[in-house]
Structure 1
Amino acid sequence: MSVPLLGEPLPIELANTAYAVRGEPRDGLENVELFTEWLAAIEDRLPWRLSAEELAAIGDFELTAARELREAVRDIAQAITGRDAAQVAAGSMAGAAPSVGAVETLNRHARWAPYWQELRWQGEPAAQVRSAAPPVTAVLSFIAQEAIDLFVRRHADLRACQGPGCVLLYLQDRPQRRWCSAACGNRARAARHYARHR
């Protein structure tokens, strides 16, 4: 699978399905097959499993919904990451106004498939997450709800990668971090080194 998976929260992983290779835009949700591959790759991070039959049943409706949710998450993230350094340091959201349409889209996806926990008892108590919605709709709704939580609680940590030609997002987990991955950091350092020695 060519779509980058960075171990970030699922809303960021979804946003990062729009990525770049050597500065050229790529779409990790270009078709149903790529979307299905992405869902299979993140399945262990979901609150419930998608069966092979459910993955095989994915069609254009689910793909369109995933793309729509991705664009809403990216729009909101870009508004947040577009703040200046002083606003970030102060934890301020001032000046960060995503489009009303992106917020409405995110909220609509969050409402599509409420989910709940049910108690299961098989020797030990366990919680099983359930939803009455179709499985992929429930997954997208779960990601939308996670995005809302992320934008409310962790907005000050959200960053856009500063690597040359990179368009990925990440959560800053240490003060010195400026790149989505070590590979982007290496490319940025190599580009600076090359520029100095030209």
Structure 2
Amino acid sequence: METTAQLLGEPLPVELMNTIWADRDGVHDALADPDGTRAWLRAVAPRIALLADHDLAGITAADTADLAGRLVLLRDALRRLAAEATGDPRTAAASAIRERDAAIAAVNQAAGAVPTWSALTWVAGEAPVRHVRTQGHAAGAAVSAIAEEAIGMFSRGDEAGLRACLAPGCVLYFVKDHPRREWCSPSCGNRARSARHYRRHRTGGSD
């Protein structure tokens, strides 16, 4: 099973925010069930140093359900903070977490839930290698790693580049990595331009 989330190459906290997505049928949740959670984790695993396919294969159904709950809580907290940072006006994109302090507490809790640390191995004749170790199963530690990355993003001021995609019907976020970038994806850009063209045609003027 492939994840239904739109992976846009954004930082992992933003990719997690974007597990809430929308189309003409409404707003969807890519983490709505254990299979969806497992599919999303498998899709982002190559970007998380401590998570591999065999880690996901070894977790139980109960563990997967727990992970889904933790990821959804972290996702909703990050979307609340993203809305704060971007002044997001989109009603459909509103987080289930309404209070900023509750969102901050959820992120902090997620970051500290499963400790990780670095370990060095150095085989004679080979280059030294850094490994990431974890207390508990790796998939759980991946949630903490995403929370840790989010804390770094917000505390360094990186959220200044964070944007809410204001294309019609979109609920995604993105990082503005180019001065001319206005939308999360080319398809949203096309949709926004089409809507703009329609408004100009209807009113007979410019917007």
Q: Secondary structure at the match of 1:102?
A: helix
**Structure 1, unaligned stretches of length 5 or more?**
85-96
CA RMSD of aligned residues (A): 1.9
> Equivalents in 2 of 1:193, 1:155: separation in Å?
31
State the 1:22 CA deviation: 2.7
Q: Secondary structure at the match of 1:119?
A: strand
Count of equivalent residues: 186
> Equivalents in 1 of 2:178, 2:73: separation in Å?
31
Q: Which runs of at least 4 in structure 1 moved beyond 4 Å after TM superposition?
A: none
Specify the alignment match of 1:87 in structure 2: none
Give the alignment's TM-score, normalised by structure 2: 0.84
Farther-moved stretch of structure 1 (18-27 vs 184-193): 18-27
State the 1:120 CA deviation: 1.3
1:185 aligns with one of 189, 197, 207:
189
> Equivalents in 2 of 1:101, 1:110: separation in Å?
14
The structure-2 alpha-carbon separation of the partners of 1:83 and 1:166, relative to structure 1 and needing over 3 Å to count, comes to closer
CA deviations on 1:50-104 (whole Å, 9 max, x unpaired) are 34353452421111111111101111111111179xxxxxxxxxxxx96111000
> Equivalents in 1 of 2:24, 2:122: separation in Å?
51
2:133 aligns with one of 126, 130, 134:
130
For the pair 1:81 / 2:53, whether they are aligned, the reply is no
State the 1:13 CA deviation: 0.3
Specify the alignment match of 1:144 in structure 2: 147
1:49 aligns with one of 40, 51, 73:
51
> Equivalents in 1 of 2:40, 2:34: separation in Å?
10
Specify the alignment match of 2:159 in structure 1: 155
State the 1:190 CA deviation: 1.2
Q: Percent identity?
A: 40
State the 1:160 CA deviation: 0.3
